[in-house]
């Protein structure tokens, strides 16, 4: 079990300073206090006060997403949510759910019987049972990357997918790419739908043609690549935009297996900026989602709903991180040489 001493050792400060930070004493700086609180959450510290205070409980449900280790997508979302909640005196339960669980347990009933004041749902699919129930829930609920119409108790938090995809296409366009394939994630996911629409919009705004054999839906895993990359290569793609970084890692592998060099023959762009992105060979150009901030915004939105402020949607800006997996389009360079 994590003690105050452990936190003090990690931060290299005294036990009494940690104690002051945890108890909100006014004779340490606000920055130091925040650092103590954030570190306490990161290390899994639980105060006696929190264990006693049964009334301030939030629940984070997670499905279809890995989150146990720091290199997985859900990890920092959960961390950011728990850090922000902790600062405001809430304890957070993290509950993994399955479709079967959702069929046997009604969302509202589960929340009420466990005394949760609000829920943060991460990784749910459009056809999940709870998604249908959320149209009518009166429990303050925030969804990461899902949107429920009209219900004033439900808010959507996510990254602006349109700006993310647009910035990726624009980057490839500036490098001379015109045949840009798109290997998307799962169907039945709101972000897949938005990213697909964003791809169509961005191609159109750059006057690039969208060809049917240049677009495919797979799953948000590396393995998706082997079923679709051969078609993209056959169709003459010079760049492949991917629904997330895991797909992109598979695409790079698949291109190499088939004798295509990344980025010399094919440019590859991911989405998310997972920690692995910078360790891939070549390091991956990708659209960054600020996951810790997404978690914190999730808490802020939930806090609003609990206080009867009906926030409907909060979006964060994505950021294009340019690394070595993208390069000027080979065809274009040849053309340039011919012109000389």
Task: State the residues that interact with a copy of itself by CB under 8 A.
Answer: 149-150, 152, 160, 163, 167, 290, 293, 296-297, 300, 304, 309-317, 319
The two tokens of residue 112 are 């009420």
How many CB atoms are closer than 10 A to CB 265? 16
Q: Which residues contact 64 (CB under 8 A, 6 or more apart)?
A: 123, 124, 125
Integer Cα distance of 206 and 96 in angstroms? 42
Closer of 258 and 317 to a copy of itself (Cβ)? 317
CB of 106 to a copy of itself, least distance (A): 24
Closer of 300 and 330 to a copy of itself (Cβ)? 300
Closer of 28 and 240 to a copy of itself (Cβ)? 28
The end-to-end CA distance of the chain, in Å, is: 69
Integer Cα distance of 82 and 289 in angstroms? 18
Phi, psi of 201 (to 5 degrees): -60, -45
CB of 312 to a copy of itself, least distance (A): 5
CB of 320 to a copy of itself, least distance (A): 10
CB 89 within 8 A of CB 53: yes
Closer of 44 and 152 to a copy of itself (Cβ)? 152
Closer of 224 and 289 to a copy of itself (Cβ)? 289
The two tokens of residue 87 are 């600062």
CB of 296 to a copy of itself, least distance (A): 7
CB of 250 to a copy of itself, least distance (A): 29
Pairing of strands 285-288, 154-159: unpaired
Closer of 42 and 160 to a copy of itself (Cβ)? 160
CB of 80 to a copy of itself, least distance (A): 10
Integer Cα distance of 277 and 71 in angstroms? 10
Integer Cα distance of 262 and 275 in angstroms? 20
Closer of 253 and 312 to a copy of itself (Cβ)? 312
308, burial (CB in 10 Å: exposed 0-12, middle 13-18, buried 19+): exposed
The two tokens of residue 62 are 């997670």
CB of 127 to a copy of itself, least distance (A): 22
The two tokens of residue 138 are 């009166």
Q: In sequence order, what are the beta bridge partners of 323?
A: none
Closer of 125 and 300 to a copy of itself (Cβ)? 300
CB of 81 to a copy of itself, least distance (A): 14
């Amino acid at each position: 079990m994590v003690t105050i001493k452990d936190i003090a050792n990690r931060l290299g400060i005294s036990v009494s300073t940690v104690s002051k930070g945890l108890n909100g004493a006014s004779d340490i700086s606000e920055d130091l206090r925040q650092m103590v609180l954030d570190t306490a959450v990161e290390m899994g510290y639980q105060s006696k006060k929190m264990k006693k205070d049964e009334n301030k409980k939030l629940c984070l449900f997670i499905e279809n997403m890995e989150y146990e280790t720091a290199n997985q997508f859900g990890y920092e979302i959960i961390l950011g949510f728990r850090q922000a909640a902790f600062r405001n005196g809430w304890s957070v339960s993290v509950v993994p759910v399955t479709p079967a669980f959702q069929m046997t347990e009604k969302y509202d009933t589960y929340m009420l019987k466990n005394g949760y004041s609000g829920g943060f749902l991460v990784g749910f699919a459009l056809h999940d049972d709870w998604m249908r129930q959320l149209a009518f829930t009166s429990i303050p609920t925030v969804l990461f990357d899902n949107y429920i119409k009209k219900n004033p108790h439900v808010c959507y938090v996510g990254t602006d997918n349109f700006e993310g995809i647009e910035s990726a296409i624009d980057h490839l366009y500036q490098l001379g790419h015109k045949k840009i394939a798109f290997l998307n994630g799962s169907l039945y996911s709101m972000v897949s739908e938005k990213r697909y629409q964003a791809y169509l919009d961005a191609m159109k705004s750059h006057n690039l043609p969208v060809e049917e054999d240049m677009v495919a839906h797979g799953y948000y895993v590396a393995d998706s690549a082997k079923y679709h990359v051969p078609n993209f290569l056959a169709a003459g793609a010079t760049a492949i935009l991917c629904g997330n970084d895991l797909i992109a890692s598979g695409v790079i592998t698949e291109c190499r297996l088939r004798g295509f060099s990344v980025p010399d023959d094919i440019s590859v762009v991911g989405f998310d900026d997972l920690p692995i992105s910078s360790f891939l060979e070549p390091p991956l150009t990708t659209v960054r989602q600020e996951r810790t901030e997404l978690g914190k915004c999730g808490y802020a939105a939930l806090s609003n709903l609990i206080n009867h402020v009906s926030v409907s949607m909060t979006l964060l800006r994505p950021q294009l991180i340019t690394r070595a997996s993208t390069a000027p389009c080979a065809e274009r360079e040849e053309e340039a040489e011919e012109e000389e």
